[in-house]
Structure 1
Amino acid sequence: MKFVKLFVLMAVAAVATPAMAAGDAEAGEAKAAPCAACHGQGGNATIPTYPKLAGQGEEYLVKQLQDFKSGARNNAIMAGQVANMSEQDMQDIAAYYAKQSTEAGQANPDLVELGERLYRGGDMANNIPACSGCHGPAGQGMDAAQYPHLAGQNAQYTEDQLKAFRAAGRVDEPGMMQTIAAEMSDTQIKAVASFISGLSK
């Protein structure tokens, strides 16, 4: 029954996504200069607790920036960064990062088997669907539905976000990730986060 609800939620999210105005990647490069302090040159963060933005979908990035600005997503650092951003600024920055190439990380060999199994096939006995169903077999994401690009993402960041979803400290609409993460153990979260880090699009 939980799987049926999840698929309905995924379908609603995919259909309900509004069209977004085009951003200017060249303008975005200059506007993104302050972002490099946390997110690295070209969006490849080297600090493991910060996300890589390189290769991320434009629509997903704009939505996250909007959520930080509105307070729908709570982060004191990002709230300050987006306070004076216009919608055009957000679109330009998102366009810039979307054109960058993600540098893959290195998965922990001890966690690859479990991580790949969860990513590609889920855990049906515990109502955990395959990550690849929304995020793609190569972690490329589905930007039209605002499902993020995951390939190469910092493992610690992914682990932290899954735990935040599980604790309902981070909320997505219509609640898919909270529902999924609620069924995941610490070991499963660590394994899938590590596997994602080693994926290359």
Structure 2
Amino acid sequence: MAVWDFAMPSPLHLCRAFHNSWASWTASEARLRIATSASDTTPLPAEAIHAPPLPPPVDTVYCSTDAGFSGPDRSPTFGFYVRSMDGAFVAAASGPLACPYDPLLAEAMAIHEALSWLQEHNYHNVQILSDCAVLVASFRDAGSYRSYLGIVLDSCLRLINSFPACSVKFVRRGSNLVAHALAKHVSAVEARTVWRDSLPPFISPAMI
């Protein structure tokens, strides 16, 4: 410790000196941060801040998907329902899946079935709708799944990237009743079926 004039500074003097130095340093750092922030930040124009989201392309189709397990042997099935932006019927399909009793895997395979059909029939702008929130979130980190689910997710992502515009979104079960009914109907276990003219008769208008 330094000594001036053969006398040591008192503890009170040292505390006051420290607090004064600390206050000066923190004030200087604060001014520096404000100046740096102001120089590095480019303000967004007002029209960018308040701009509404862009609407989807006019030829976008919405495709609701679902999976289910039927009967005592829990046979896995899928269903999907395609409609235009104005709600007009486009197509519907259902059929069996080849997978074990794994609800998340079955949901992923149902989306894969829908994407494959949409690609095969030359649809370009697609929104896939699923009521499985866990699956929708899984697409953000598909590479972390070291299982057959990861393989299916990766295959789905390859299909998604083949479309000019395609996204997977979560919807509540109440908005996914048609796809759910298609997947759970007994005909889905027996064979793959595609409807192009109208929805099958077992779909009630209240579900749409």
Task: Report TM bin, short chain.
Answer: under 0.3
Between structures 1 and 2, the one with greater strand share: 2
Indicate the structure (1 or 2) with the bigger Cα radius of gyration: 2
Between structures 1 and 2, the one with greater helix share: 1
What TM-score do the two structures reach when normalised by structure 1? 0.25
What TM-score do the two structures reach when normalised by structure 2? 0.24
